[in-house]
Structure 1
Amino acid sequence: MKRIAIFASGSGTNFQAIVDAVKKGDIQAEVALLVCDRPHAKVIERAIREHVPVFVFNPKQYETKQQFEREILQQLQQKEIDLVVLAGYMRLIGPTLLQAYPNRIVNIHPSLLPAFPGKDAIGQAYRYGVKVTGVTVHYVDEGMDTGPIIAQRALYIDDGEPLESVERRIHEIEHVLYPQVIQQLLTEKGSTKNEKTSNY
């Protein structure tokens, strides 16, 4: 069975959606590791409750990104991880991990990339006044939300719709789309096939 590592920094709603999809059989894999860079993040509580092993680190205790990514890599190798899934992980991935897992690190972003990369993408799009936004799943490279797009799903913003409603609907899309894409990637040969698709 394929083995997934999830990287997260916050509350862990996408982490939970992935774990739930595994339980239902929608993702045929094991969530074998949570990697978290914030020792007090709520996602850690979720992982403990779901009996998922946790590697927590404080980046401030390392001199360089390379140092803590080497420790993360050791954890991934020990767990024999096939696919790395970023789910609200608020750090750029460096060469140490990218070279070890080429085309096997993916991320979900709450906008239709390349529009509105970076933090607060939903707020960015909302304040800009766009009528269509959405969710993107993409391969990870060294840039900020710049890797090749795997799948996207659009969301139309209603006139006068409050930001909270848009956020809720974006998250609902994320929790459906991400498990679907993860399952497809895991069933592709070696989990490394790199092609753009939007058939979701």
Structure 2
Amino acid sequence: MGKTKRVVFLASGRGSNFSASIEFIRKKKLKLEPLALLTDNPEAKALTLAKKFGISTKVIPYSTYLSKLDYHRDLLHGVESYDPDLIVACGYMRILKPDFVARFRNKIINVHPSLLPAFPGLDSQKQALDYGVKVAGCTVHFVSEGVDTGPIILQKAIAIRPEWTEKELSLAILKEEHKILPLAIQLFCEDKLKIKERKVEILK
């Protein structure tokens, strides 16, 4: 196993995937140092969780920027200041700009509530129900310049029950996100992910 990995988290909301990841990291005693949580939302519940875990936070409030380019510049500089090995987007609701992705190529992972490439973008659970699919799920993938188009690391499928509402489907998927995102972080930490073109090989 290599050196201790330095990790920055990005979140915009409640932070349940952030919390699940930190708890997993500490339980497994991974060689991984959570450096900070960055958020675009000063009201994000993830900030309270980070404080509970004793993890540094940085708020870059998207709504206060007249120029969105300035926001993305400050986000890039903010993340660069930590010099991370890995960036974990867990419920971060902004699309990362191409210069950010290029700067941290193959070092950014994201969790998405669908079986990509199906239903990228927002409201994936509603898209799945409206389409009438019988199986939904979640995906952890490397972030590329497109929207939810990067190489897939892990996926988990669940059967949709006919009576489920969007909320019920979302909660069922979220439970699986809490499992596969921490596992993907562990695989990255242990240098077990190898990208070949757009495929990810998990090394033994």
Same fold at TM > 0.5: yes
* Identity level (%): 39
Give me the whole-angstrom Cα distance separating, in 1, the residues matched to 2:45 and 2:60.
14
Residue 31 of structure 1 aligns with which residue?
34
Q: Contact 1:10–1:88 at 8 Å: present in 2 too?
A: yes
Q: Contact 2:125–2:170 at 8 Å: present in 1 too?
A: yes
How much does 1:27 deviate? 4.1
How much does 1:162 deviate? 3.7
Q: Contact 1:27–1:180 at 8 Å: present in 2 too?
A: no
Q: What one-letter code is carried by the residue in structure 1 that aligns with 2:35? A: A
What pairs with 1:1-200 in structure 2 (closer than 5 Å)? 1-25=4-28, 27-188=30-191, 193-195=194-196, 196-197=199-200
Deviates more, 1:161-170 or 1:113-122: 161-170
**CA deviations over 1:123-167 (Å, ceiling 9, x no partner):** 211222211011111111222212222221111112323433322
Instruction: Give SS of 1:23's match.
Output: helix
Aligned residues: 197
How much does 1:65 deviate? 4.1
Q: What one-letter code is carried by the residue in structure 2 that aligns with 1:194? A: I
**CA deviations over 1:152-196 (Å, ceiling 9, x no partner):** 11111123234333222211100001111111112227x7x3243
**CA deviations over 1:14-52 (Å, ceiling 9, x no partner):** 010111111102643121111100111111111112111
Instruction: Give SS of 1:118's match.
Output: coil
Q: Contact 2:60–2:74 at 8 Å: present in 1 too?
A: no
Structure 2 unaligned segments of length 5 or more: list them.
none
Give me the whole-angstrom Cα distance separating, in 1, the residues matched to 2:49 and 2:187.
25
Give me the whole-angstrom Cα distance separating, in 1, the residues matched to 2:61 and 2:201.
36
Instruction: Give SS of 1:194's match.
Output: strand
Q: Contact 1:152–1:198 at 8 Å: present in 2 too?
A: no
How much does 1:198 deviate? 8.4
Deviates more, 1:32-41 or 1:94-103: 94-103
**CA deviations over 1:61-94 (Å, ceiling 9, x no partner):** 3354443333333333332211011001111101
Compute the RMSD of aligned alpha carbons. 2.0
Give me the whole-angstrom Cα distance separating, in 1, the residues matched to 2:102 and 2:163.
45
Give me the whole-angstrom Cα distance separating, in 1, the residues matched to 2:43 and 2:161.
36
Q: Contact 1:35–1:56 at 8 Å: present in 2 too?
A: yes
Structure 1 unaligned segments of length 5 or more: list them.
none
TM-score of the aligned structures, taking structure 1 as reference length:
0.89
